[in-house]
Every structure is written in C-alpha cells, then in structure tokens.
Amino acid sequence: MVKLTPYPEEGELVICTVRDVKGFGAFVTLTEYQNREGFIHVAEVATGWVKYIRDHVREGQKVVCKVLRVDPVKEHIDLSLKQVNDHARKEKIQEWKNEQRAEKLFEIVGQNLKRPLEDCYTEFGNALVEKFGTLYSAFEETALDARVLEKEGLKGAWTKAFAAVAHENIVPPMVQVHGYLELTCGGKDGVRRIREALVKANQSKGGSSVEIQYLGAPRYRIEVRALDYKAAEDQLKMAVDTALEHLKEGGGKGTFVREKGGSCAHS
C-alpha cells in the first residue's frame, strides 16, 4: 500500500502483523508503513482484565489497531487493539484489500507501458495517491469519469493506459433506494395515462437507473440505482414528481410512500 509519509498519524487505523507476544503486550509490524514496529500494551489489547494475552493475540495474526502515539525520534508507535470496533475493523480491512488490488492493477499499467514499476510510481503513482488519497480511489474515480485525471491536472502518455486498466477492472459500487407509487386515473384513457406516467418516470433524466415494477393495481414499486445516496434520492424524487405531475394533468391522482433505508449493490 502506497503511503507518502513514513509514519502514521495519531488516531489512524492501521493494519498490523503480530510479531512477538509477551505478558506485558504485543510487538507488531505496520504492514502499510514499511513494516515499522509498533507496540500494543496489554491494557490496550482488550476491554477488561486480560488474564492470558494469547487468548486475544498470537504471533502471525493480522490485526487492525488504532494509533495512540507516534515518536519518530525514538521510532516508537503505541497502538490499541481494543479501541477498534467491528465496523471500523471491517472497513479498514476492506480498504487494505482494495489497495492490494490497486497495486496489482498498477503493475499491469506499468507492464502495458513497458516501464519499470518504480519509475511509474515516481512519475505518476505517488501523484495519484496525493490527489486521490489512495491508489484504489484513483482507479475508482477514473472508472467513473474518464476525464478526472485531466481535471486534476494530471497529464502524460500514461493517463490512457491507466484509464484503460481502470475501466476494464473496476466496477463502481452502486446504492439502491426505493418506494411505492399508488396511481389512479378514471375515464377511458385512465390506463393509458398511468402507463404514460410510468414511462415518463422511467425516462426522467438524472444519470441513474430507474426500474418500475407492477405489484397489482394501483401499486407500483419504483427503484433507483446510483453511485451515491444523494444522486439516488435526487433521481427518485425526479422520477416520482414526473409521474405524479403527468397523471395530475390527465385528471388522475397518485401518492408516493418512501421505503425507509437503502442498500448497496455491485453492478
């Protein structure tokens, strides 16, 4: 994982490998920081009294720790295992796995350019991390928007090779939001009017995917997939407003009930 600083910051979550376990604590190496050594005091291993430290950590184990203190002069890093909750640990592990994948993809970029990997990092890899925070974020943002590198002021023959690898290998995560429409319209043209309202809702321009499912008159389920919740919510509102407005113009009426919550999916 590419890091532009030699030491982590206090409060940062880091991936560690347990090197040696003693009764008073555990010595670990920080995977993302060139295997610098860190220390977890026994009081920071778990909540409550720790009778046998090896019940909680063992040599060779990978753990997620929170950085408590950093002393670059003494090259000492104090860490906590107990201050990392399950959610934060899972997110950090996923981030680390993403970066491992990104580094493999970056190797492919170098191979396609027929350039040594070290030269690629020097020329543009470190700049990507500086601009996007992580190498994986650079790949993901480029997969979403082919012009993002240019927008960030990054230029060179390498950009086409990088964008090609991003588009071929990264599938941006999608989120889903949904709700229910109840549509009624009397008269001989009522059914046609409802159908037109649904078609217009499905065609409303917002850059997201809209799907409408018939549940049985007068109920319809409407679902929107987008890259983030704000975009999804905006598209859902646009689609619903379009349908209700069109139906109202034809003398019909409708209501919308938003289903609470949302979900993540991968296209």
Q: Which residues of the chain have pLDDT under 50?
A: 262-267
The C-alpha atoms of residue 178 and residue 59 are separated, in whole angstroms, by 47
Q: Give the closest residue to 224 by CA, choosing from 240, 236, 239.
A: 236
Q: Is 29 exposed, middle or buried (0-12, 13-18, 19+ CB in 10 A)?
A: middle
- Adjacent-strand bridge partners of 169: none
User: What pLDDT shows up at residue 204?
Assistant: 60
Please answer whether residues 24 and 42 qualify as being in contact, where contact means their C-beta atoms are separated by less than 8 angstroms. Answer: yes
Q: Give the closest residue to 65 by CA, choosing from 18, 6, 122.
A: 18
User: What pLDDT shows up at residue 78?
Assistant: 98
User: What pLDDT shows up at residue 176?
Assistant: 86
User: What pLDDT shows up at residue 265?
Assistant: 45
List alpha helices for the chain, DSSP H. 86-113, 117-120, 126-132, 135-144, 148-151, 158-169, 190-203, 229-249
The C-alpha atoms of residue 94 and residue 88 are separated, in whole angstroms, by 10
User: What pLDDT shows up at residue 264?
Assistant: 42
DSSP letter, residue 42? G
In terms of DSSP bridges, do strands 36-41 and 62-71 run parallel, antiparallel, or are they unpaired?
unpaired
User: What pLDDT shows up at residue 263?
Assistant: 45
pLDDT digits (tens, 9 = 90+) for 79-134: 999 999 999 999 999 999 999 999 999 999 999 999 999 999 999 999 999 999 99
User: What pLDDT shows up at residue 186?
Assistant: 84
Spatial CB neighbours of 165, under 8 Å, sequence gap ≥ 6: 105, 108, 109, 112, 139
DSSP letter, residue 9? P
Length of the chain: 267
Sketch out the chain's domains with CATH numbers.
13-83 (2.40.50.140), 87-169 (1.10.150.190), 173-258 (3.30.70.1130)
